[in-house]
Amino acid sequence: MLFKQQAQLKQKLLVLGSLAVGSVLYLVAHVGTLQRLQPICRVDHRLVPGPEQIPLRTLQFKRALLHELRRANGSRQQLGLQRLVQQLPQAIIIGVRKGGTRALLEMLHLHPAVVKASQEIHFFDNDKNYARGVEWYRSKMPFSFPQQITIEKSPAYFITDEVPERIFKMNSSIKLLIIVREPITRAVSDYTQVLEGKERKNKTYHKFEKLAIDSGTSEVNTKYKAVRTSIYTKHLERWLKFFPVEQFHVVDGDRLIADPLPELTLVEKFLNLPPRISPFNLYFNATRGFYCLRFNIVFSKCLAGSKGRIHPEVDAAVLSQLQRFYHPFNQKFYQITGRTFTWP
């Protein structure tokens, strides 16, 4: 009897011992996660008024919070969440369409001090929405703690004439993010998206070459929107009539695909946020062929399948013609922004 009890005790100790060793090994393996659970994180006072500190919540917490808010039907007091507010964005990703705007927004949302408007709001580029007023715009923003910053993205802003003045009227010191890719790649990506939409509706569509080159003059067709959108400097010049160049940050969309972390670190700096996005948060998914996002040890996600389409091959002569066309605009863009790319 005594022998049996001793054997049971030994077995229990063994199980407890293995659990303890397992836990230590687990914690060591996930030290990156532990870093994310530090209790306090200061957000630079230049972005958010007041010397308050914000709790460095995990994204899991943010998600649960939103879920609770939806369920609670507005009774924030009951949840002890009365400090939550809907803030106008302190930073906007204004474009460029197909530059990687969704990836940038989702990746910035890995930062515990960043909340994002999930949908494109189209407040400043859509007259009907704009007429609804700034409080309507605010109502579209997610709940956040006052020390967090809100970011939205609507890539149509970059190319729409009225937008710079409208944003300036709302907040003349807002931070503006522009993500660009090599202009021809971006134009082809733009074309591919429209093509897919036409195919879905069983409609026929011209080849990229036919749209990009004017058959009458054999010149590059600047009336074609996909071509025009990639003349970054032309659009930026309109914005510079309202905002100084220091208020813009240019993100390299091609680098965000290949190696996102350094680009995100630059954005954190531009937004005066403490660096919190780490290698732990990003992993390469070979099946998708892109980096995906890891929020914590349980939750990770890749972008939707509509991001990362296969582009059609473009005729070599048309490619060189487009390269010659974009070259002077690209040079000007480097000169204005102070960021040089290795575009042809």
Q: Where are the beta strands (DSSP E) in 27-89?
A: 40-41, 54-55, 85-86
Task: Give the residue, chosen from 256, 273, 314, 322, that forms a contact with ligand A3P under the rule CB under 6 A.
Answer: 256
DSSP-derived secondary structure for 170-206: H-TT-EEEEEE--HHHHHHHHHHHHHHHHHHTT----
Is position 307 an interface residue for ligand A3P (rule: CB under 6 A)?
Answer: yes
Give the contact letters, 172-191, x = binds to ligand A3P (CB under 6 A), - = no. Answer: -----------------x--
Give the contact letters, 136-155, x = binds to ligand A3P (CB under 6 A), - = no. Answer: -------------------x
**Catalytic residue status for 210:** no
Is position 257 an interface residue for ligand A3P (rule: CB under 6 A)?
Answer: yes
DSSP class of residue 289 equals T
Is position 308 an interface residue for ligand A3P (rule: CB under 6 A)?
Answer: yes
Task: Compute how many residues bind ligand A3P; rule: CB under 6 A.
Answer: 17
Active-site residue identified among 98, 116, 153, 175: 98
We find the least distance from the C-beta atom of residue 95 to ligand A3P, in angstroms, to be 8
CA distance 120 to 14: 56
CA distance 157 to 142: 20
Is position 116 an interface residue for ligand A3P (rule: CB under 6 A)?
Answer: no
Is position 255 an interface residue for ligand A3P (rule: CB under 6 A)?
Answer: no
Task: Give the residue, chosen from 168, 290, 329, 334, that forms a contact with ligand A3P under the rule CB under 6 A.
Answer: 290
Scanning the structure block, which residue is given the tokens 């062929």? Answer: 289
CA distance 149 to 309: 31
We find the least distance from the C-beta atom of residue 226 to ligand A3P, in angstroms, to be 12
CA distance 198 to 219: 26
DSSP class of residue 152 equals E
We find the least distance from the C-beta atom of residue 306 to ligand A3P, in angstroms, to be 7
Packing angle between helix 183-200 and helix 316-337, nearest 10 degrees?
Answer: 120
> What would the two tokens of residue 73 be?
């039907």
DSSP class of residue 344 equals -
Is position 100 an interface residue for ligand A3P (rule: CB under 6 A)?
Answer: yes
Tell me the HSE value of 75 on the side-chain side, using a 13 A CA sphere: 5
We find the least distance from the C-beta atom of residue 218 to ligand A3P, in angstroms, to be 27
Q: Applying CB under 6 A, which residues contact ligand A3P? A: 97-103, 155, 189, 256-257, 290-291, 303, 307-309
Which sequence positions are flagged as catalytic? Answer: 98
